[in-house]
Structure 1
Amino acid sequence: MTTTPTTAPTSIRGRVARLAHELIVPRQDGCLRDSAVDVAALARLRRGAGRDAAALPDLWGLIDTSPLHSTADGRRQLSERELVRAENALHTALTLWALHQQSRGSRMHRLHSYQRPGGLGAAIRRLMPVGEIDDAVRKRLVRAGTAPDLTALAQRLRDIVTLLRGADIPLDYGLLAGQLYAWQWPDGPAAVRREWGRSFHARLKSDSDSDSRDAGSNPPAAKDDKDAS
């Protein structure tokens, strides 16, 4: 008897997270160098923030999902359902990053680390005064967590990203892409909400490390870090 999986396959989530990082880093570096090609690509990508991927065929050429079709290193071929959900997650993460990066002089995609949590919950916590909880800001995270579908979630995340951009607070968009992939599975929303909740309450460490080291060319391991902030 065939059973329908209810949670995202861990290895695929990791591949989505890694691919998002690998797609963003060169674009981000190019934008910081004021590369005309990358600045133009950023402008095109950010038009998709909060919108359904299927509605914007103009962006398909900017988000190279071909590595998802690779069977190198013994990887199995992904099912149609897995591919669609992976592509949707990548589209959402990259377009939100493009909105976040617009006109910023520093890297708005930064890898999560224990010392410098880069997840959504931790980023929202950084919008608040030290030692205080801003209920209006916290409710934005709660509202995102209760989105009924990925399109609604993308729209609510767009509002959050706009706040983060204004405060120059970066986010790990690889981690977010993996969470967006997981979100689309039946048990995914509850699991991702738990991750965001842990992230929100995580103790923030020193911000003395440079963004260039955290968001450099070394991609994250292709695994599912359920305790990532």
Structure 2
Amino acid sequence: MTQPTIDVAERDTLFNAIGTTVARLQSQFLGDQGDLLKTQARGELAELRRRAGQPIDRDPLSLEKTLLVLSPTLNENSLGRGDAPSPSEEAAFHALTLFALHMQSATRPMHVPKQSFAAACGRLYALSDSASLKPRFDALLLARSSRARLSHMRSMITLLRGSQLGFDYARFASDLRALDSADKRSGVLLRWGRDFAMGRFHTADDTSTSDNN
């Protein structure tokens, strides 16, 4: 049996680690597992939320906190070995902190498996009267740096939070990792543009999206 490449192994462990972690935090935050765990989850999310949209290297505790919250953790191939975070560590950090922002004051799940980030934004566009929403999303697609993209993502997720629209954070983390790869970035952005356009036509509880290739 052919062994997967390191790139595939990193992507798969990131998807699983983020999906399982945010599902757990979400269930605890919404009170599904009792008041004690709800209080604990609120504290963890509040701490993560303070770092949402910031570079991972701005705070020396950022990577440590990310790895402590993740369960299951990233595998050995996905972890960094030097003075800089690995692509999977950085994607996990941004996915977790933006999820924490999204869950602020939430009364329903904001991690919605199989619903893509861009499709949720398209659904928001269909429901919104704001003329600025599509230009905001377009600016995200056209951003020339990862920092600019993160700023636009933070803005869009704040708007999604206001309308209680969620998306799949495991897929989102995989996309964040791919966006920092020059040979994969254009494909992710093309798919996001498609998902945004098609998201307009989906009902609020429709979780269908284009394939995550």
**Aligned residues between the structures:** 197
1:146 aligns with 2:133: no
Q: Give how far 1:135 is off.
A: 5.1
Q: Structure 2 CA distance, aligned partners of 1:197 and 1:133?
A: 20
Considering Cα pairs closer than 8 Å and 6+ residues apart, tell me whether 1 or 2 has the greater RCO: 1
CA contact under 8 A between 1:44 and 1:59: conserved in structure 2?
A: no
CA contact under 8 A between 2:25 and 2:41: conserved in structure 1?
A: yes
**Structure 2 counterpart of 1:22:** 20
**Structure 1 counterpart of 2:169:** 173
CA contact under 8 A between 1:110 and 1:171: conserved in structure 2?
A: yes
**Structure 2 counterpart of 1:105:** 107
Q: Which range moves more in the overlay, 132-141 or 92-101?
A: 132-141
Unaligned stretches of 5+ residues in structure 2: 1-5
The alpha-carbon distance between structure 1 residues 11 and 142, as it changes in their structure 2 partners (threshold 3 A), is farther
Q: Structure 1 CA distance, aligned partners of 2:99 and 2:41?
A: 13
1:62 aligns with 2:65: yes
Q: Structure 2 CA distance, aligned partners of 1:164 and 1:208?
A: 14
Give the one of 44, 47, 54 matched to 2:47.
44
Unaligned stretches of 5+ residues in structure 1: 1-7, 71-75, 113-117, 215-224
Q: Structure 1 CA distance, aligned partners of 2:162 and 2:129?
A: 19
Q: Give how far 1:226 is off.
A: 7.3
**Structure 1 counterpart of 2:183:** 187
Aligned alpha-carbon RMSD (Å):
3.0
The alpha-carbon distance between structure 1 residues 77 and 198, as it changes in their structure 2 partners (threshold 3 A), is closer
CA contact under 8 A between 2:195 and 2:210: conserved in structure 1?
A: no
Structure 1 residues 57-97: Cα deviation after superposition (integer angstroms, max 9, x where no partner): 33334322683334xxxxx6767599611111111111011
Which residue identity does 1:227 align to in structure 2? Answer: D
Structure 1 residues 119-146: Cα deviation after superposition (integer angstroms, max 9, x where no partner): 122111111236x996521122221122
Q: Which range moves more in the overlay, 31-40 or 196-205?
A: 196-205
Q: Give how far 1:201 is off.
A: 2.5
Task: Calculate the TM-score normalised by the size of structure 1.
Answer: 0.74
Which residue identity does 2:211 align to in structure 1? Answer: D
Q: Structure 2 CA distance, aligned partners of 1:193 and 1:101?
A: 25
**Structure 1 counterpart of 2:3:** none
Task: Calculate the TM-score normalised by the size of structure 2.
Answer: 0.79
**Structure 2 counterpart of 1:73:** none
Give the one of 115, 118, 121 matched to 1:121.
118
Matches within 5 A, 1:69-108: 69-70=75-76, 80=81, 84-108=86-110
CA contact under 8 A between 1:68 and 1:83: conserved in structure 2?
A: no
CA contact under 8 A between 1:13 and 1:179: conserved in structure 2?
A: no
SS across alignment from 2:108: coil
**Structure 2 counterpart of 1:198:** 194
Which structure is higher in helix share? 2
Structure 1 residues 30-76: Cα deviation after superposition (integer angstroms, max 9, x where no partner): 11115211101110001111101111233334322683334xxxxx6
SS across alignment from 2:73: helix
